[in-house]
Amino acid sequence: MNKKDLEIIENSIRVIPDFPKPGIMFKDITTLLNNAEAYKTLIEHLVDRYKSYNLDYIAGIDARGFIFGAALASHLGIGFVPIRKKGKLPYTTVSQKYSLEYGYDEVEVHIDAFKKQDNSTANVLLIDDLLATGGTASAASELIKQLKANCVEACFIIELSFLEGAKKLDVPVYSIIKE
């Protein structure tokens, strides 16, 4: 990504201090989404990056990963798979727990989410807006593997590098903005 395009994207993200609690500098992507130039620049960059990856599916993490993943999948002409919080999908699922600061949470995906007509292994890109501690992304990556698909990379719009979330993933990580 060239410097000008990166600046367009970075400058479109609003920072809200002390949300949701004191000391947190919240990265608000809603201002990126409602900025047509920034959103277009972001999606075009992702299309350019992933068009040669031989992907079959984009898997987006609930809920902001849906926004980027569905648009990218549409541009690439491939399927989109939602990885949802527990209890949100109507069909048979597999799930994966992950730890939070206080307790656990769980994500799930339909058991047939990555099926291909020829029964070969599906190549999947995992996407979300933010990589922080890596718990959700790691659980989502594990779900992809449980379903015998190949998670080729995990992509994030923003990575909070100081939290070292990328170390929890055993797939390559690509982040547009690293802080």
Active site residues: 64, 101
Number of Cβ within 10 Å of residue 174's Cβ equals 16
Distance CA 6, CA 163 (A): 22
At a CB cut-off of 8 Å and minimum separation 6, what does 25 contact?
A: 15, 16, 17
Which residue type sits at 9? I
Tell me the two tokens of residue 151: 């998670």
Residue 55 CA: distances (Å) to CA of 96, 97, 161: 23, 26, 26
